[in-house]
Amino acid sequence: MDIGTLVGLGMCWAIFVASILIGGASPLIYINIPSVVMVLGSSFFALFVANPLSRILGIFKIFMQTVRLPAYEMEKTIRIMVEFSERARREGLLALEDNLQELDDEFMRRGIQLVVDGTDPEIIKSILYNEVNQIEARHSSNIKVFDTWGTLFPAFGMLGTLVGLIAMLANLQDQSTLGAGMALALITTLYGSMGANMFCIPVAAKLNDRTKTEMLFKEVVIEGVLSIQSGDNPRILLEKLIAFLPPAQRDGVRQEGKD
Amino acid sequence: MDIGTLVGLGMCWAIFVASILIGGASPLIYINIPSVVMVLGSSFFALFVANPLSRILGIFKIFMQTVRLPAYEMEKTIRIMVEFSERARREGLLALEDNLQELDDEFMRRGIQLVVDGTDPEIIKSILYNEVNQIEARHSSNIKVFDTWGTLFPAFGMLGTLVGLIAMLANLQDQSTLGAGMALALITTLYGSMGANMFCIPVAAKLNDRTKTEMLFKEVVIEGVLSIQSGDNPRILLEKLIAFLPPAQRDGVRQEGKD
Amino acid sequence: MDIGTLVGLGMCWAIFVASILIGGASPLIYINIPSVVMVLGSSFFALFVANPLSRILGIFKIFMQTVRLPAYEMEKTIRIMVEFSERARREGLLALEDNLQELDDEFMRRGIQLVVDGTDPEIIKSILYNEVNQIEARHSSNIKVFDTWGTLFPAFGMLGTLVGLIAMLANLQDQSTLGAGMALALITTLYGSMGANMFCIPVAAKLNDRTKTEMLFKEVVIEGVLSIQSGDNPRILLEKLIAFLPPAQRDGVRQEGKD
Amino acid sequence: MDIGTLVGLGMCWAIFVASILIGGASPLIYINIPSVVMVLGSSFFALFVANPLSRILGIFKIFMQTVRLPAYEMEKTIRIMVEFSERARREGLLALEDNLQELDDEFMRRGIQLVVDGTDPEIIKSILYNEVNQIEARHSSNIKVFDTWGTLFPAFGMLGTLVGLIAMLANLQDQSTLGAGMALALITTLYGSMGANMFCIPVAAKLNDRTKTEMLFKEVVIEGVLSIQSGDNPRILLEKLIAFLPPAQRDGVRQEGKD
Amino acid sequence: MDIGTLVGLGMCWAIFVASILIGGASPLIYINIPSVVMVLGSSFFALFVANPLSRILGIFKIFMQTVRLPAYEMEKTIRIMVEFSERARREGLLALEDNLQELDDEFMRRGIQLVVDGTDPEIIKSILYNEVNQIEARHSSNIKVFDTWGTLFPAFGMLGTLVGLIAMLANLQDQSTLGAGMALALITTLYGSMGANMFCIPVAAKLNDRTKTEMLFKEVVIEGVLSIQSGDNPRILLEKLIAFLPPAQRDGVRQEGKD
């Protein structure tokens, strides 16, 4: 579980609500169901226009990616790569087939399988990089759902405020309800801004960050697979792959590599 | 028919109108024909300045693309490619001419025709990629119409509001009509924002998404055509092409490939 | 003459003015010469700072490009290219010199001349592409004048409004002129927004579109010239060049090619 | 001296001030020293945070670049290049050393010196292009100072207005000073917007334009130097280099080349 | 210590506070603890959602980078490179091992070590460039924290103002507290804008500038290491490396190179 996402969302909303309560005004004045329906509903269906149906229906699954921690273990993966490289030099590329089941990561397994099958290095490179590019394209389409929502939310908030203002201004005779009418009109802007800044924008940023981490992991795997196939020295392979890590994590990998 | 576009547009507007009706104000105060004419008309003719005439006259046809579902069947196309590849290896590239009529997709037919004619691979690649780039350029010009409209709409909405405000302020003596004057002034901002957020922006996003899907499909076709010409192993061709698909759709293609 | 630009500008302003007249307020309240001078004059001289003198002095000539229709005849050009290609294969590259005078387009003539002179293909390619890049760079500098003006216009509009507001607020005693003062202050914002949205932004968009069309035309010429020099089959040349056209225009070119 | 920059800045401010004077309000209400100090001072020190000290201390020197006209004489440079090319073909590359002192431009001299020294063409290319890239990087860092200031100016203007508004609202009892207080609050927004639109933004645009011109000039020099070294025909060199010029300037260079 | 950052931050805030004190209003009206908690707290926890936990926990360390001066000594590094190059040509690449301890910079040491080990130039290039790219990617993720905060700050400021406005408008009966309520509501906008413009935006700009300087330094090292390995003439190496320096710093390096 990604504690950052959960604690972040929880605390962000908690502090916000607490500051309203401390302000002394009745919290009820901030709740208006028709306004929620309008801002949330209209902007959500505008997303339907902007996206293919399947992507919208999977929106909850996309969000859940920010709550689950990704399973990429860069350091372990680099060690496995070095081991495979050593074995391939000792016993030949075909010997790697025995260890394929050990691999948790589907992408790495597929890469090594292509090597074991004796596929041409250029073709392996093109297949794996193409796959990575397609994953990135699909991820960025998913992220764009939240990006678009993050811009539609305040837009529909403002639309609601305009509707409220016009109604209020067209009916100015009753000055006693002026303040309440305007407060109601502003509530949709508040909802729109909350939806964007307290949900969509940070979620899209986290999804973006996750995609970058995944792409980095997959690049390490491709570099490793191609290096194993070309019979690189395992020491060189290690140097190549730890260049992807931040310096602080390198010594651990180097150490275990020597054991 | 793309249900997402229709349901999305319908529900987005329905919820918006319903929330107005629930608000209790007379819906008539939101309707002002001169304001519609100004915001819609002026911004539309500004599009005339910004675009060549032919593109503006085709604007309805461009919009209709978001309502019709595209006919790209990636999985079927990949299976056809694999079949063609097998046949080409058994009976030679010329034998593919017999199957050309079976192909629904004009682009794929053109590619295979070039292969059958014995055209040089580099030339085929350059012709097909050039065509894809030109298609993308034409699509992005079309999308830009809606993008530009989406920025002109709120701008003309604000222009209308300024016109209304100035008229109202220049004539402040009659305080009783103050509210109504201001309500009227705000209506153009409402129209402009509705035109942008409830039509242009989501439509442009869908058109963008469609273009990406089409480009992906055409890339699969080019990859397949070149692979067939170079006599790649059909198994390798299959691996190459399914790397374009999301993992969930791959097994189906693999299965049928074995039958 | 580009009817789109003229009709667009005319109708955009006509509808706008008509909607003001219909509004019932005296049109005179929207006219204030000092405000025009300030918004138009100050923003224009800020353009002087931002651009070299020669570009500013040529601003009217730049604008006129949006009114004149460009003379690129893609289809005719492709047919000429195919004819040249046939002749070059029959009678040798030198024979093309006789037809050079027939060519209206200076760029195409220059390219064929380089071929006739026996210049190295790499050098021809570098000269022609360099020329195209320089043209694009000069065009984009020109477009930027209108882009910059389109952002300075509303900025100076707002500056004028601030000046007016401060004068009005510093002199609040006379409440009877309050409305008129504020109306006057808002007029510069109106002018700034009109200058940007009803002139600069659409004009810059059209100039951009024109540049794209010209670049496409010049790319077709370069592709054709290099293909003629390398002695490509005229049928292949035709295929290469019509890939630049939208599908609907291709059959016409193909047909004539056969005649 | 770049007349455009001076006349532009002068007229932009003159028209602005004149329109204030014509407005009839006392010009003194627009002058408030503490507001100047706040907007100018705070935003300037925020620039200190954003940039290395040396760049900020050189800000006046950077600005002066927009006032001095650059000394690039493209046409003369091309003619010199062609002469050098002719001499190198007649008398050998070493003979160019005698003419090195004639060259005003340090960059061209350095390039020819490398040729005379018999440096490898690849190394010359990498040294000269690297130098150009570094110049561009340093220029764009300098331009960014004005870019950043152009966004900080209105931000600090708004900060000042918020400070003024809060003070005024917290002290509403004295309604007689309400207007004056608000006028004072708005003055910082006016200053911020003036600083951005009447100084920083146009200056940054001019610096940008200058950088582009310099890069173009240096590209011509590199192209010429490499062409001289490789012993290109002077006629080809001329064709290559005049492709960088706008068509109107070409005939003059061609003519003199023939004399 | 980077005096620019410290003086800049100090003076920016000092001038801002001083201008408030000079304004004459009680400074207490600008302090509201619940508003601070809301704007600072909510936006900070939104950063938790947007970033991995480790990056947020290191945010203070990231900020401290703007206060410490970087230790890159370009001129000294270039001189060392030239010395290494001379020694390598005299005594062979292996002789460089003796001098490795002299090198302060870990990255340069690693590069020379790879050379001494006899690693293939292509592999050295790929390892070092990959490391540089990863460093840049990590830096840009760090910078993005402040970038994101710089956009969330004003957004949460506006959210607080909306909350305050709605409370005030819903409770308009007591007109005496109207001004104070509105002043309080605006305070969150003030805090949000201060957080963005007086902290996050300038800090992110400085971090960006630092990254560019570091990348330039590392590029010089890579260029030098590869040049040493390929046995380039030390004079050529010097020319290559000083092309990275601004002209004013070159003569010093050239001079010492001759001693």
Of A236-250, C152-166, C234-248, give the range with the top mean pLDDT. C152-166
Residue among B123, B109, B138 nearest B215 (CA): B138
Nearest-5° Cα angle at C33, C30 to C35? 80
Tokens 């064709």 map to which residue?
A: D239
Q: Which helix (H) or strand (E) holds C20?
A: helix C3-23
Q: Is the pLDDT of residue E207 over 60?
A: yes
Residue among C223, C249, C214 nearest C143 (CA): C214
Residue among B108, E58, B55 nearest C206 (CA): B55
Q: What is the mean pLDDT of residues B50-56?
A: 93
- Compute the mean pLDDT over every residue in chain C, rounded to the nearest whole number: 91
Report the alpha-carbon distance of residue A185 to residue A167 in Å, rounded: 9
Burial class (CB in 10 A: 0-12, 13-18, 19+), D127: buried
**DSSP string of D145-173?**
HHHHHHHHHHHHHHHHHHHHHHHHHTTTT
Predicted pLDDT of residue A256 = 64
For residue E170 the two structure tokens come to 């819903």
For residue E110 the two structure tokens come to 């690693």
Q: Is the pLDDT of residue A249 over 90?
A: no
Predicted pLDDT of residue C109 = 92
Q: How far is CA A195 from CA A18, A73, E188, in A?
A: 18, 33, 19
Residues of B in contact with A52 (CB under 8 A): 2, 4, 209
First to last CA, chain B: 32
Residue D24 backbone zone (phi > 0: left; psi -120 to 50: alpha; other: beta): left
By C-alpha distance, the chain C residue nearest B117 is C236
Instruction: Give the closest of E19, E197, E245 to D37, CB-based.
Output: E19
First to last CA, chain D: 32
Query: What's the Rg (C-alpha) of chain D?
Result: 26
C252 contacts B140 by C-beta, under 8 angstroms: no
Q: What is the mean pLDDT of residues A76-83?
A: 92
- In C98-117, the residues whose Cβ lies within 8 Å of chain D are 106, 114
E156 contacts A196 by C-beta, under 8 angstroms: no
Predicted pLDDT of residue C245 = 92
Report the alpha-carbon distance of residue E97 to residue B78 in Å, rounded: 56
Predicted pLDDT of residue D173 = 73
The conformation of residue C69, written as its DSSP 8-state character, comes to: P
Residues of A in contact with E130 (CB under 8 A): 240, 243-244
Report the alpha-carbon distance of residue D26 to residue D13 in Å, rounded: 17
Q: What is the mean pLDDT of residues A115-126?
A: 93
Residues of E in contact with A9 (CB under 8 A): 45, 49
Predicted pLDDT of residue C258 = 56
Report the alpha-carbon distance of residue A188 to residue B93 in Å, rounded: 64
- Compute the mean pLDDT over every residue in chain B, rounded to the nearest whole number: 91
Residues of C in contact with B136 (CB under 8 A): none
Residues of C in contact with D239 (CB under 8 A): 114, 127
- In E135-174, the residues whose Cβ lies within 8 Å of chain A are 137-138, 141, 144, 148, 151-152, 155-156, 158-160, 162-172
Q: Is A230 on the interface with B (CB under 8 A)?
A: no
Q: What is the mean pLDDT of residues A48-75?
A: 91
Report the alpha-carbon distance of residue E165 to residue D194 in Å, rounded: 30
SS3 C62: helix
Predicted pLDDT of residue A258 = 56
> Which one of B198, B212, B216, B219 would you mutate to disrupt binding with A, by most A Cβ within 10 Å of its Cβ?
B198
For residue D28 the two structure tokens come to 């003194």
- In A184-223, the residues whose Cβ lies within 8 Å of chain E are 186-187, 189-190, 193-194, 196-198, 201-203, 205-206, 209, 212, 216
Predicted pLDDT of residue B241 = 94
For the ranges A23-27, A168-172, E205-209, which has the lowest average pLDDT? A23-27
CA C63, chain centre distance (Å): 8
Q: What percent of chain A has pLDDT over 90?
A: 72
List of residues 6+ apart from C96 with CB closer than 8 A: C84, C87, C88, C112, C115, C116, C228
With CB atoms and an 8 Å threshold, state whether A126 touches B240: yes
SS3 D231: coil
Predicted pLDDT of residue E227 = 94
Q: Is the pLDDT of residue E253 over 60?
A: yes
With CB atoms and an 8 Å threshold, state whether A51 touches B205: yes
Predicted pLDDT of residue C100 = 87
By C-alpha distance, the chain B residue nearest C205 is B50
Q: What percent of chain E has pLDDT over 90?
A: 72
Predicted pLDDT of residue D258 = 56
Report the alpha-carbon distance of residue B35 to residue B41 in Å, rounded: 9
- Compute the mean pLDDT over every residue in chain E, rounded to the nearest whole number: 91
Residues of A in contact with E160 (CB under 8 A): 19
For residue E192 the two structure tokens come to 């949000």
A68 contacts A3 by C-beta, under 8 angstroms: no
- Residue B170 banded pLDDT, cuts 50, 70, 90: confident
Q: What is the mean pLDDT of residues E158-182?
A: 86
List of residues 6+ apart from D220 with CB closer than 8 A: D74, D77, D78, D81, D241, D244
Q: What percent of chain B has pLDDT over 70?
A: 98
What crossing angle do the helices spanning E43-50 and A3-22 adopt, rounded to 10°?
160
CA A93, chain centre distance (Å): 36
List, for residues E72-124, the tens digit of each pLDDT value. Answer: 788 999 999 999 999 999 999 888 888 888 888 889 999 999 999 999 999 99
Residues of C in contact with B114 (CB under 8 A): 239
Predicted pLDDT of residue C8 = 95
Residue E36 backbone zone (phi > 0: left; psi -120 to 50: alpha; other: beta): alpha
Predicted pLDDT of residue C125 = 95
- Residue E251 banded pLDDT, cuts 50, 70, 90: confident
Report the alpha-carbon distance of residue B16 to residue B35 in Å, rounded: 19
Q: What is the ipTM of this complex?
A: 0.91
List, for residues D4-34, the tens digit of each pLDDT value. Answer: 999 999 999 999 999 988 877 788 899 999 9
- In E16-55, the residues whose Cβ lies within 8 Å of chain D are 16, 19-20, 22-25, 29-30
Q: Which helix (H) or strand (E) holds E253?
A: helix E247-258
Q: Is the pLDDT of residue D102 over 90?
A: no
Q: What is the mean pLDDT of residues A76-93?
A: 92
Residues of B in contact with A165 (CB under 8 A): 183, 186
Q: Is the pLDDT of residue C229 over 70?
A: yes
Residue among D252, D209, D255, D222 nearest D75 (CA): D252
Predicted pLDDT of residue E229 = 94
- Residue D73 banded pLDDT, cuts 50, 70, 90: confident
What's chain B look like in SS3?
A: CCHHHHHHHHHHHHHHHHHHHHHCCCHHHHCCHHHHHHHHHHHHHHHHHHCCHHHHHCHHHHHHCCCCCCCCCHHHHHHHHHHHHHHHHHHCHHHHHHHHHHCCCHHHHHHHHHHHCCCCHHHHHHHHHHHHHHHHHHHHHHHHHHHHHHHHHHHHHHHHHHHHHHHHHCCCCCHHHHHHHHHHHHHHHHHHHHHHHHHHHHHHHHHHHHHHHHHHHHHHHHHHHHHHHCCCCHHHHHHHHHCCCCHHHHHHHHHHHHC
Rounded to a whole number of angstroms, the distance from the CA of E201 to the nearest CA of chain D is 8
For residue E143 the two structure tokens come to 């910078």
Tokens 């310096």 map to which residue?
A: A247
**DSSP string of E161-187?**
HHHHHHHHHTTTT-GGGHHHHHHHHHH
Predicted pLDDT of residue D91 = 92
Report the alpha-carbon distance of residue B252 to residue B257 in Å, rounded: 9
Rounded to a whole number of angstroms, the distance from the CA of D79 to the nearest CA of chain E is 27
Q: Is the pLDDT of residue A4 over 70?
A: yes
Instruction: Give the closest of A42, A53, A156 to B4, CB-based.
Output: A53
- Residue D257 banded pLDDT, cuts 50, 70, 90: low
List, for residues A85-118, the tens digit of each pLDDT value. Answer: 999 999 998 888 888 888 888 899 999 999 999 9
Tokens 């629904």 map to which residue?
A: B104
Q: What percent of chain B has pLDDT over 90?
A: 72
- Residue C256 banded pLDDT, cuts 50, 70, 90: low
For residue E51 the two structure tokens come to 């970033």
List of residues 6+ apart from B121 with CB closer than 8 A: B226, B229, B230
Residues of E in contact with D137 (CB under 8 A): 212, 216
List, for residues C49-82, the tens digit of each pLDDT value. Answer: 999 999 999 999 999 999 998 877 889 999 999 9
Predicted pLDDT of residue C259 = 52
For residue B98 the two structure tokens come to 């017999």
- Residue A15 banded pLDDT, cuts 50, 70, 90: very high
CA C162, chain centre distance (Å): 34
Burial class (CB in 10 A: 0-12, 13-18, 19+), A244: buried
List, for residues A129-162, the tens digit of each pLDDT value. Answer: 999 999 999 999 999 999 999 999 999 999 999 9
Report the alpha-carbon distance of residue D181 to residue D29 in Å, rounded: 11
Q: What is the mean pLDDT of residues C89-106?
A: 88
Report the alpha-carbon distance of residue E136 to residue E134 in Å, rounded: 5
Chains B+D touching (3+ CB pairs under 8 Å):
no
- Compute the mean pLDDT over every residue in chain D, rounded to the nearest whole number: 91
Predicted pLDDT of residue B116 = 93
| Cβ neighbours of E173 (radius 10 Å) | 8
For residue B136 the two structure tokens come to 């993308």
Query: What's phi and psi for E134, nearest 5 deg?
Result: -65, -40
Q: Is the pLDDT of residue E257 over 80?
A: no
By C-alpha distance, the chain E residue nearest A26 is E167
Q: C36 vs A69, which has greater pLDDT?
A: C36
Length of chain A: 259
Q: Is the pLDDT of residue D76 over 80?
A: yes
